[in-house]
Amino acid sequence: MDRVGVDEFRQSGLAETRPITEEESVQLGEAIGRVSSREVRSHLPLPWFRRSAVDGYALRAADRAERLRVVDKVTAGRPTARRLGPGEAIEITTGAPMPEGADAVALVEESERSGDFVRVREAVEPGSHVSPVGEDIRPGQIILDRDQIVTPVAVAALASQGHQAVMVWRRPRVLIVSTGDELRPLGTPLAHGQVYDVNGAALEALVRAAGGIPVRGGVWEDRYEAVRAGMSALLDRDDWDILVTSGGTGASIPVFQGRDVRELHDLLPAVAAELGTLIHHGIRMSPGRPTALARLGQRPAFLLPGWPYAVLVHFEMLVEPAIRQAAHLPQGRRRAVAARLATSLSPMPGFTWVIQVRVSTDNDGTLWAEPLLPPPPPSASRVMTQMLEADGYIIVEAETDLPQGHPVTVWADPLRHREGKP
């Protein structure tokens, strides 16, 4: 199976991913960041009664009288039943309902009170300082679009209608499986050769940050029977929308080809092809060339390599777009910052090379991106420490060398971004 480019892989992943169709109701105060599943129109105009926009005196503009008798007082929430007659005024506060018979308000700053009377310095026009019914929100106006992220402003608009809850799309459930005989759960002792399941924990965090609900599917042993049994069991479960695995995707394929699948240690794509449809296996991308995409029971399965840096990058470039599509979220959560290469760089022609960088600012305010490259073979590679040190990554798709100072875009972790620095 030919390696495909990053864009083709990503588009295939999106094509395999259905937007979630189930809705749920969430309390207004907890709806922040969720995506509305229904258009909401106002049923209550705002304001729903004529109200004063200022502190002052409600009056009849037609009176054009300088001296009015103050016959009552209304404050917000405390209306009066009294109807305003000719030559009368009613003291009124901001937000209070206009008395019957009154059609304008004179500003308190432009009035002089004396006992039961008030002098209004200038005649007021009908409607002055009065908010008519529906001036802000008309009945039937759209206050929340379908597929809109619920923001604090949307919450305010929904609250103005008295809604206690809002209908949103259920979050996509992302099943996370790690593969490898060497993997042990966190918090347990390690025997020789064993390591902790780093990718399972990292994927749980990544899924949550991307807007999905992580569902932990445990660890599959690196044997054909174990992987086949594990993957078969998933087909019958309806508690996941997207599958993400790490490890076992096939670094050995060019070498072990011709052997029986049961002998392979990297066998997830092979089992996925048996139980579903293998759509892609191999991507022209570094890190992580052997990533695969499959369809399992009409649901997308992203089979990522086992190297933690590859898991991070492939998740962000391939899996997160699918999760966000399923969640009805817009694409493009990451922050992009313009910088310049701190060193020259020889690209990998034909490949998308994702390189972690550290960013520093010089005296001119220019951001410089210093590539964090693993040592070349036959040395082995530092991975976790470079990931901890990185401020973001650059995506290099050039065919020829990039000189020092070449402009690059640094993609930064949205959790870490601050103004001025990624």
Q: Which of residues 125-164 bind a copy of itself (CB under 8 A)?
A: 125, 127-132, 135-137, 141, 143, 149-164
Nearer to a copy of itself, 275 or 323 (CB): 323
Number of helical (H) and strand (E) elements in the chain, helices listed first: 9, 26
* DSSP-based three-state secondary structure for 27: strand
CA 77 to chain centre: 39
Pairing relation of β-strands 173-179 and 130-131?
Answer: unpaired
Of residues 275-304, those binding a copy of itself (CB under 8 A): none
Instruction: For residue 278, list its beta bridge partners.
Output: 294
CA neighbor of 18 nearest in space, from 298, 301, 217: 298
The 10 Å Cβ neighbour count of residue 189 is: 6
Of residues 46-75, those binding a copy of itself (CB under 8 A): 46-49, 51, 53-55, 74-75
Q: Is residue 235 near a copy of itself by the rule CB under 8 A?
A: no
CA 317 to chain centre: 15
The stretch among 6-14, 232-240, 294-302, 382-390 that binds a copy of itself (CB under 8 A) is 382-390
Identify the residue among 32, 62, 233, 338 touching a copy of itself (CB under 8 A).
Answer: 32
Q: Is residue 250 near a copy of itself by the rule CB under 8 A?
A: no
Identify the residue among 25, 232, 331, 361 touching a copy of itself (CB under 8 A).
Answer: 331
Identify the residue among 211, 214, 300, 371 touching a copy of itself (CB under 8 A).
Answer: 214
User: What is the 8-class DSSP label of residue 318?
Assistant: I
Pairing relation of β-strands 299-304 and 242-246?
Answer: parallel
CA neighbor of 63 nearest in space, from 105, 108, 116: 105
Q: C-beta of 247: minimal distance to a copy of itself in Å?
A: 9
Q: C-beta of 69: minimal distance to a copy of itself in Å?
A: 20
User: Which residue shows structure tokens 């008519």?
Assistant: 132
The site that binds a copy of itself (CB under 8 A) totals a number of residues, namely 116
The 10 Å Cβ neighbour count of residue 347 is: 17
Q: Is residue 183 near a copy of itself by the rule CB under 8 A?
A: yes
The stretch among 3-11, 92-100, 357-365, 393-401 that binds a copy of itself (CB under 8 A) is 92-100
C-alpha 1/C-alpha 126 separation (Å) is: 77
C-alpha 17/C-alpha 295 separation (Å) is: 10
Nearer to a copy of itself, 207 or 275 (CB): 207
C-alpha 9/C-alpha 262 separation (Å) is: 27
Q: C-beta of 232: minimal distance to a copy of itself in Å?
A: 23
Q: C-beta of 61: minimal distance to a copy of itself in Å?
A: 10
53 within 8 A of 124, measured Cβ to Cβ = no
CA dihedral 70, 75, 78, 81 (to 10 degrees): 30
Of residues 391-410, those binding a copy of itself (CB under 8 A): none
Identify the residue among 115, 258, 332, 376 touching a copy of itself (CB under 8 A).
Answer: 332
Q: C-beta of 336: minimal distance to a copy of itself in Å?
A: 6
The stretch among 13-21, 29-37, 286-294, 340-348 that binds a copy of itself (CB under 8 A) is 29-37
